Amino acid sequence: MRNAELKAVDRLIVALDLDSDKEALRVVSELGSSVGMFKVGHQLFTAFGPDIVRRIIGEGGRVFLDLKYHDIPATVAKASAEAVKLGVSIFNMHALGGLEMMKRAAEAAREAAAQRSLPMPVMLAVSILTSMDQKALKKELKINRSLRREVVHLARLAKRAGLDGVVASPQEIKPLRRAMAEEFVILTPGVRPIWAAKDDQKRIMTPAEAVAAGADYIVIGRPVLRAADRKAAVVKVLQEIEGRQS
């Protein structure tokens, strides 16, 4: 499907950043098909393993497995094949793992999907973590080009490796959209609905702004998880994306 044709509901990914599997499954059953996907990250996965992913899928939820693989090519290739077998809809890896790592991962994932006639997940690269700033990039990693240029460079590398897109902060959406073709997927966390607290997110956009800037998918955690009525919070976010303010 062309990204521009995604419906608001398909664009919305809720981050299950929780320490309880019961609570995670409660969120899945509360929100059901009113969100496109659920993000399982390091916390939930480390505590409850692949079983939590299977249970979410068993409840009818689609899963973005946010484990940001970064290891030698053979290891990431094998992990990527397992992500396909697990049935996730999106998974990711660090672009800083290099071209060979990303290529081998993409090949292994495609092979696993073809062998078992499984649907192919969307494969994304994480470029530079948004917790890194320009100063850390230069002083610690000794990367001299600007953060934005480095992010676009790594996106091109991911594309060359056969990945489908990147995870990008709101600030990076526009430069990436300018540099990459329309079908290149951009998934953006760090968004905040108009009505929500910023929490520790500093450089934020609203969901509607992120989509207008060119994001295909947006990830939201706390504003939905902490809402007294999570379903109502999701409906408000969807209305914002569709440009209908309630």
Instruction: Provide the minimum distance between the beta carbon of 201 and ligand C5P in the complex, in angstroms, as a whole number.
Output: 5
231 belongs to the catalytic site = no
50 phi-psi bin (left φ>0, alpha ψ -120 to 50, beta other): alpha
The rounded distance, in Å, linking the Cα atoms of 182 and 164 is: 11
CA distances from 188 to 15, 57, 92, 105, 244 (A): 12, 22, 13, 22, 21
Helix (H, G, I), strand (E, B) or coil at 93: strand
- What SS3 class is residue 206? coil
Ranges within 170-189 binding ligand C5P (CB under 6 A):
189
User: Tokens in use for 16?
Assistant: 């299950």
- Of these residues, 22, 68, 103, 174, which one is catalytic? 68
Residue 210 binds ligand C5P (CB under 6 A): no
- Closer CB to ligand C5P, 24 or 219, in the complex: 219
Closest residue to ligand C5P using C-beta atoms:
221
| Cα Rg of the chain (Å, integer) | 17
190 in contact with ligand C5P (CB under 6 A): yes
- Compute the least distance from the CB of residue 219 to ligand C5P, in Å: 5
Q: How far is the CB of 199 from ligand C5P (least distance, A)?
A: 6
3-state SS, residue 246: coil
Which of 80, 92, 171, 201 is in the footprint of ligand C5P by CB under 6 A? 201
Q: 161 with 99: CB under 8 angstroms? A: yes
- 14 to 53: interface string for ligand C5P, x by CB under 6 A: -x-x-----------------------x------------
User: Residues interacting with ligand C5P, by CB under 6 A?
Assistant: 15, 17, 41, 130, 169, 189-190, 199, 201, 219-222
